Amino acid sequence: MRRFVSLLAFIGCLCLAPIGAIAQDYRDLLQSFRAETLTYDDKRFLQTALAFNGHYDGLLDGDWGPRSQRAMESYAQAEFGSAAEEWHLAFLAFSFIDLFERDGWGMFRMNSFGLSLLYPYTAVVTDPSTEYFVNWRHRFSSLSYSTGINDRQTVQNVHDYTESVHSSSTELYILRRPSLAVTSATRNDGSVLYTRSNFINGLWHTAMLSADRQDVPILNAVAASITVGSSRNISITRDGPLETIVMQTLAIINEQDSASNAPQQSAQVSAPEVARISTGTGFIVSSQGFALTNAHVVQGCVQVTYDGLPASVVSQSEEYDLALLQIPDWSGDVVATFSPAPARLNSDVTVVGFPLSGLLSGLNVTRGAVSSSLGFGGDMSGMQITAPVQPGNSGGPLLAADGEVVGVVVSKLDAQYVADLTGDIPQNVNFAIRGELAKLFLFQNGVEPVLGTSDAPVAPVDIAQIASAYTGFIECRQ
């Protein structure tokens, strides 16, 4: 509560001041909370923030009903000891923006898996896969994920196991429908095991979540986010009602700090960046200035640049996680060459891109091999590689030993970021979209990819030099 003292003091001054002495929009912050003024995205963002704070256990659907309202009132009472007011939304938003910036939370569309869910892109550790599941965990909590596509009997066994671990006095939660099964069990120590299975295209797609007592709110938020197919990212509407409340509240805080003569005046509260900036990699595929990248790199962008040049999104495919950009001011003369044939198992590959732009600088090149001809969760549109991949490599070219493109990198499951910060051993399970699909996507959008004519190996240093001429840094402002 100490972080709110300056705001509370200033609001006390507002309440005592003549109406004409203050800005009317500041007085509006003292009004009772009104959900009807918010946009769909604003409501969904607040539902997510309330879930992470342990006050909300409903769907993250932007539908502000009685459950959402009760959660908002619970938050306001717990933090401020009063009914919910407009300015409370700002501090609720601040709490989740902090987590967004630290962990990179966003909606992860798993194409082959058929579901979308909340995922901490920059705070993930990949665990060894088992016979039926791919596994990973959140670096900063006890939350763990397992996902798999299995037959009915295997799924039944998984739900039976989930039911068997229930040992607390709370009621076991079971939901059964023709195409949906949910089991949520709580142990005596307060830890939770949550299992959800959706019947999609003839198979059962299962997501299992587990967390210790203190991290159950995070688990509940992720469980509530699970959606069949694609789902919009969690965001605040640009220039919308919630952003306005956030910026007005910050203005009040800063005005109060400026009016104070305390020695701590220099440590003013600074505004969190509501408009998020994310980065990725792309590569030129046509002399007309067309570039290829991942769809998730440019999803939700209001402004995209390629090596600092303005770029526009020409086409996107959520199914294959590919996007085509056009850079009108591009003036280079080197374009990527695609391999006519698929990459072979255990063949050498090189990843080129701009990872961890906040920590590293310039083009980064890593090498490895094709370790599986299938992608995440057995996805036939992808492949698994051992070359180290970090956030920011997304959308970059995967090159064969002859320097030709055999895939497009997707950096979602690597732990190199954690290794750089903590010294943990990085994982070497990473994925790329097959080059064949990338070529098909280009053909479908009227761009004819340049095909290689020789399989002669190229020296690794030459591969890096050539690739640097057509590989670019993408910045997305949301």
Residue by residue, DSSP assigns 169-218 as: SSPPEEEEETTEEEEEEE-TTS-EEEEEEEEETTEEEEEEEEE-GGGHHH
Has residue 78 got a pLDDT over 60?
yes
H-helix or E-strand spanning residue 314: strand 309-317
Q: What pLDDT is recorded for position 268?
A: 45
Q: Where in the chain is the domain with CATH 2.40.10.120?
A: 277-477
For the record, the structure tokens of 321 come out as 């996680």
Contact between 243 and 251 (Cβ < 8 Å): no
Name the fold adopted by 118-228: Protein Transport Mog1p; Chain A (3.40.1000)
Q: What is the DSSP letter of 85?
A: B
**What distance lies between CA 137 and its chain's CA centroid?**
14
**Range 325-336 average pLDDT:** 91
* Model confidence band, residue 441 (pLDDT cutoffs 50, 70, 90): very high
H-helix or E-strand spanning residue 473: strand 471-477
Q: Could you tell me which of 215, 204, 221, 283 has the C-alpha nearest to residue 474? A: 283
Q: What pLDDT is recorded for position 276?
A: 63
Q: What pLDDT is recorded for position 267?
A: 40
The model's pTM is: 0.55
Contact between 179 and 204 (Cβ < 8 Å): no
For the record, the structure tokens of 272 come out as 């969190």
- The model's pLDDT over 112-135, given as tens digits with 9 standing for 90+, comes to 667 889 988 878 888 888 888 989
Contact between 226 and 117 (Cβ < 8 Å): yes
Report the share of the chain in percent with pLDDT over 90.
52
Q: What is the DSSP letter of 3?
A: G
* Model confidence band, residue 308 (pLDDT cutoffs 50, 70, 90): confident
Q: What pLDDT is recorded for position 294?
A: 94
Q: Where in the chain is the domain with CATH 3.40.1000?
A: 118-228
User: 277-477 is classed in which CATH architecture?
Assistant: Beta Barrel (2.40)
Phi, psi of 164 (to 5 degrees): -70, -20
* Model confidence band, residue 293 (pLDDT cutoffs 50, 70, 90): very high
* Model confidence band, residue 88 (pLDDT cutoffs 50, 70, 90): very high
Contact between 451 and 340 (Cβ < 8 Å): yes
Name the residue with tokens 């019947």: 199
Highest-pLDDT range among 113-127, 143-157, 355-369: 143-157
Contact between 369 and 383 (Cβ < 8 Å): no
CA 186/CA 388 separation, integer angstroms: 37
Contact between 408 and 438 (Cβ < 8 Å): yes
Q: Classify 81 in phi/psi space as left (phi over 0), alpha (psi -120 to 50) or beta.
A: left
Dump strand ranges (E) for 5-123. 105-110, 115-120
For the record, the structure tokens of 120 come out as 């901490």
CA 393/CA 297 separation, integer angstroms: 10
Residue 74 CB burial class (10 angstroms; 0-12, 13-18, ≥19): middle
Has residue 306 got a pLDDT over 70?
yes
Calculate the dihedral angle through the C-alpha atoms of 137, 276, 57, 174, rounding to the nearest 10 degrees: -50
For the record, the structure tokens of 260 come out as 């104070």
**Range 88-92 average pLDDT:** 93
Contact between 112 and 375 (Cβ < 8 Å): yes
